[in-house]
Amino acid sequence: MSAAAARVSSPVMGDGTVHGASRLWLRLEGATLFVGMLIAFATTGRSWWLVATVVLLPDLFMVGYLRGSRLGAVLYNVGHATVVPAALVGVGRWQHWPWLVGIAVVWLAHIGLDRLMGYGLKYGDHFQHTHLGWIGHRSPADV
């Protein structure tokens, strides 16, 4: 198979970014996660001010970029992967801590909104290089 044919048939570009229908599906999953978590939050009995207070907190994980792209990407991805907040939802339900469930659900909503907007998990080479594509431009060559 030629390189051009591989690019057409594969949903993943050579730089690890997803494109085409696969990218659209991942962004729709983000929208579903965002809306679903807001609906879930409504069932927690927590005040909606918590959403406004907590929704941007996961972006604090960007602090790693002060020490370089590689560490920044690792910390950012920890804060923007569903594993930790989903586990916190489970712990919160198990321990009957509705405040923890509320915070974790808002965290998941943040992740969903990021994915919907095209902000994906980061690669260690550049802040703008994500699994959903390059933020703001197509590739480093376009800068």
12 in a domain, yes or no?
A: no
Q: What does the radius of gyration of the chain's CA atoms come to, in whole angstroms?
A: 17
Average pLDDT over residues 83-88: 98
Q: What pTM does this model have?
A: 0.84
Domain of 117 in residue numbering reads as 19-127
CB 143 within 8 A of CB 128: no
106 in a domain, yes or no?
A: yes
What pLDDT does 138 receive? 57
80 in a domain, yes or no?
A: yes
31 in a domain, yes or no?
A: yes
User: Tens digits of per-residue pLDDT, 13-30?
Assistant: 677 888 889 889 999 999
Phi, psi of 130 (to 5 degrees): -125, 170
13 in a domain, yes or no?
A: no
- Count of the separate structural domains present in the chain: 1
Q: Partners of 129 in the beta sheet?
A: 134
User: Tens digits of per-residue pLDDT, 90-122?
Assistant: 999 999 999 999 999 999 999 999 999 989 999
